[in-house]
Amino acid sequence: MTSTAPALYTEPLSDQHDRERFNSGVEPLDRYLQQQAGQDARRRIASCFVLVSGGDRVPIGYYTLAATSIALAELPGPLAKRLPRYPVVPATLMGRLAVDAGHRQQGHGEFMLFDAFSRVLRNDIASYAFVVDAKDDKAARFYQRYRFRFLIEGGRRLFIPVAEIAKLFS
Ligand SMILES: CC(C)(COP(=O)(O)OP(=O)(O)OC[C@H]1O[C@@H](n2cnc3c(N)ncnc32)[C@H](O)[C@@H]1OP(=O)(O)O)[C@@H](O)C(=O)NCCC(=O)NCCS
């Protein structure tokens, strides 16, 4: 007998998803998905994409994307020097990324990160960098695996230039 693993894909959060049963073990991330994400999407504050498996209604994970900007002064000198002297440059913020506690360490976090990268690359609107807010040191280490580095005096904010992401896909 052969068995085929159900397809994994991301799609915009909708009423079809059973968000109440999503449990990342991080209460603010669960609460955001359950109470705020839909409203933020409708108001065009942040888009929310959920990772689902073969038509299952309970998300395995989710992430959000929104437009943001980075002050030139926050970028490391060698990068800033190659940019025009604008006070800020456009960027894309992945404000939240979470995988259900029962589905960790199976590549889903990486899958969603690259899914978000591909959305940014497909976007016709220019974005200089992809930015994330790491909620703690562990989360920062996760992003650093993918060549993210800290913004100067940016607190917990890390970035990777979109030009570097494009090279990862080439
Ligand atoms: C961080 C998180 C999204 C990772 O998701 P995941 O599906 O477990 O991660 P993956 O299975 O895709 O892991 C990809 C790689 O990163 C590593 N990794 C996973 N979590 C990591 C962490 N917290 N720190 C460092 N490395 C990590 C994995 O070991 C794996 O490496 P490997 O391929 O060499 O084994 C998930 O742990 C999570 O939801 N955490 C709680 C919320 C959170 O911290 N969100 C991030 C920022 S707000």
Decide if 102 contacts 25 (C-beta within 8 A). no
Report CA(86)–ligand 1 centroid distance (Å). 35
How high is the pLDDT of residue 154? Answer: 67
* Backbone conformation region of residue 55, classed left if phi is above 0, alpha if psi is from -120 to 50, else beta: left
How high is the pLDDT of residue 3? Answer: 58
Decide if 37 contacts 48 (C-beta within 8 A). yes
- Tens digit of each residue's pLDDT (9 = 90 or more) over 43-77: 999 999 999 998 899 999 999 999 999 999 999 99
How high is the pLDDT of residue 161? Answer: 98
At 114, list the tokens. 């690259």
Q: Which residues, given as ranges, of the chain have pLDDT below 50?
A: 1
How high is the pLDDT of residue 5? Answer: 75
Domains and CATH numbers, the chain: 8-169 (3.40.630.30)
Of all atoms in ligand 1, which is nearest to the CA of residue 96? 48
Site to probe by mutation for ligand 1, drawn from 108, 132, 142 as the one with most ligand atoms within 8 Å of Cβ, is 142
Cβ < 6 A, ligand 1 pocket: 24, 26, 29, 96-99, 104-110, 134-135, 138-139, 141-142, 145
Distance between CA atoms of residues 152 and 168, nearest Å: 24
Decide if 67 contacts 94 (C-beta within 8 A). no
Q: Number of H helices and number of E strands within the chain?
A: 6, 8
pTM as predicted: 0.94
How high is the pLDDT of residue 153? Answer: 75
Using CA positions, which residue lies closest to atom 25 of ligand 1?
Answer: 142
